[in-house]
Amino acid sequence: MTRSQFLKLVVVLSLAAVAAGVLSACKRSNGQTNASASASPTPPVVEVSTTAAVMRQLPQYFEATGSLAANQQTDVAPETSGKVAAVGVDIGSSVRRGQMLVRLEDADFKDRAQQAQAQLDQAKATLDQNRAKIGLRPGQKFSPENVPEVRAARAALDLADKNLRRYEKLVESGDISRATFDQQLSQRDQAAEQYQTLIHQAQQNFATVANSQAAVEMAQSQLSLAKRNLTYTTVSAPMAGYVLDRPADIGEYISPQQKVATIVSLNPLRARIDIPEQAIPQIHQGESVSVSVSAYPDRNFSGRVARVSPSVTATSRTLTVEADVDNPNAELKPGQFATIRILLPHNAPAVLVPQRALRTISGATYVFVIKNGFAQQRLVQSGQTEGDLVELKSGVAADEIVAISNVDQLSDGAAVRQ
């Protein structure tokens, strides 16, 4: 080996040694880094406030869903035909009973009423004249003897009878002749005939009075009809409520077959629900009802069970129940979907915790129970609320300690400090 070759070999070996050292240092460095990464940090301790779940007696409810409906709803149509002259309401208007909805043109109806009044006045005048002929006052019972002419004829007949009886005695005693007696008899017969004629005439006059009275009554009936038809030109609200629909417009010709408005009564509203067969013994007329709707999530409306169907529906095996819901300010509307709670007459024990103890994760509700410094995540089923407390139907027992602060920072097994 020459000197030059020897020097080259020394250089190569030196470079190899340096590379090996560098590689060894890198391996040691990587090993320390991996060991440091594999060591997990200590989890933080969560500060929480806690309280004990309490046991209370809560009122029991039967809960169902249904729709609200108007207590009363009516389509209003006119009683007579005519052209619309004025409209007094619009959709959504509040109306009182008797308020004008629509008014029809009434000139023809007024003319008919005036004509009927004139006919009545004429009939009354004729009646008064016919009564005067027989001396009959209004309300007086008719008797032919009360007619002046009849009274005079009766007096003449009585006098003739009296003279005839006197003449009978005189003719028997011979103080007068038979001819004189016959003359007196003839006078008596003429007086009787006159009397009967006047009686018959008085009865005929009374029949005329009766006909006149019937004519007056007919005229009064015609006037009443004309006045009633005149009132029909004003179409009024049959009840208090709100205008749901008003299809009539000014200038439109309408008939009794056409509605001019639809009125709904909003207080109370009706809530109809179907009760399953097994719950029938719990539901009774008059029980209190609580109603909630999505439009007012923080409010409940009160009512009572007003009507209970006498039979169960054969297809669904449910009992239909209607409740009257107080709605004095018309905040609830017919057609709204509602949750109805019927208050049952007995209470039951329930476990309650503050609402802030609940946490919803992926649609499920949880509570964190604190034991021995650690949090236990419990799946729960919530029930009714009582102020700021909520009923837990499962998952937590009475007197267990639950977290009520920093709940969103907790997980199952997390260390806590109270």
Residue (of 268, 272, 265) closest to 307 by Cα position: 272
| Beta strands 46-47 and 416-417, pairing class | parallel
Between 26-40, 211-225, 361-375, the lowest mean confidence (pLDDT) is in 26-40
pLDDT digits (tens, 9 = 90+) for 399-412: 999 999 999 999 99
> How confident is residue 276, by pLDDT bands cut at 50, 70 and 90?
confident
3-state SS of 294-359 is CCCCCCCEEEEEEEEEEEEECCCCEEEEEEEECCCCCCCCCCCEEEEEEEEEEEEEEEEEEHHHEE
d(CA 371, CA 400): 9
d(CA 296, CA 266): 17
Task: Give the residue carrying structure tokens 């476990």.
Answer: 351
Tell me phi and psi for residue 339, to 5 degrees: -105, 125
pLDDT at 175 over 90: no
Beta-carbon contacts of 141 under 8 Å, excluding residues fewer than 6 positions away, are none
CB atoms within 10 A of CB 323: 28
pLDDT at 358: 94
Q: Beta partners for 100?
A: 236
> How confident is residue 148, by pLDDT bands cut at 50, 70 and 90?
confident
pLDDT at 202: 78
Measured in whole angstroms, the distance separating CA 100 from the mean position of its chain's CA atoms is: 21
Tell me phi and psi for residue 142, to 5 degrees: -80, 135
Tell me phi and psi for residue 391, to 5 degrees: -75, 135
Average pLDDT over residues 335-362: 89
% of the chain beyond a pLDDT of 70: 89
pLDDT at 264 over 50: yes
> How confident is residue 387, by pLDDT bands cut at 50, 70 and 90?
confident
pLDDT at 163: 86
Q: Give per-residue burial for 240-269: e unless 16+ CB within 10 Å, then b.
A: bbbbbebebeeeeebeeeebbbbbbbbbbb
d(CA 206, CA 141): 11
CB atoms within 10 A of CB 119: 18
Residue (of 410, 412, 411, 413) closest to 48 by Cα position: 410
d(CA 238, CA 258): 16
Helix (H, G, I), strand (E, B), or coil: what is residue 192? helix
pLDDT at 24 over 70: no
d(CA 333, CA 236): 23
Lookup: tokens for 311:
């039979």
Lookup: tokens for 162:
């009296």
> How confident is residue 27, by pLDDT bands cut at 50, 70 and 90?
very low
Residue (of 199, 211, 198, 222) closest to 127 by Cα position: 211
Q: Beta partners for 292?
A: 339
Largest CA distance in the chain: 225
Calculate the alpha carbon distances from 209 to 86, 118, 149, 219 in Å: 46, 19, 17, 15
Q: Work out the mean pLDDT of the chain and round it to a whole number.
A: 85
> How confident is residue 392, by pLDDT bands cut at 50, 70 and 90?
very high
d(CA 303, CA 325): 4
pLDDT at 41: 62
Q: Which helix (H) or strand (E) holds 98?
A: none
Q: Which helix (H) or strand (E) holds 397?
A: none
d(CA 391, CA 353): 7
pLDDT at 42: 65
pLDDT digits (tens, 9 = 90+) for 96-136: 999 999 999 999 999 999 999 999 999 999 988 888 877 77
DSSP secondary structure letters along 60-71: EEEEEEEEEEEE
> Cβ(87)–Cβ(254) under 8 Å?
no
> How confident is residue 4, by pLDDT bands cut at 50, 70 and 90?
very low
pLDDT digits (tens, 9 = 90+) for 216-254: 999 999 999 999 999 999 999 999 999 999 998 999 999
pLDDT digits (tens, 9 = 90+) for 289-306: 999 999 998 888 999 999
Between 186-190, 291-295, 349-353, 371-375, the lowest mean confidence (pLDDT) is in 186-190
pLDDT at 22 over 90: no
Task: Pick 17 or 126 by higher pLDDT.
Answer: 126
Average pLDDT over residues 66-85: 92
d(CA 53, CA 35): 46
d(CA 200, CA 144): 9
> How confident is residue 7, by pLDDT bands cut at 50, 70 and 90?
very low
Q: Give per-residue burial for 286-300: e unless 16+ CB within 10 Å, then b.
A: ebbbbbbbeeeeeee
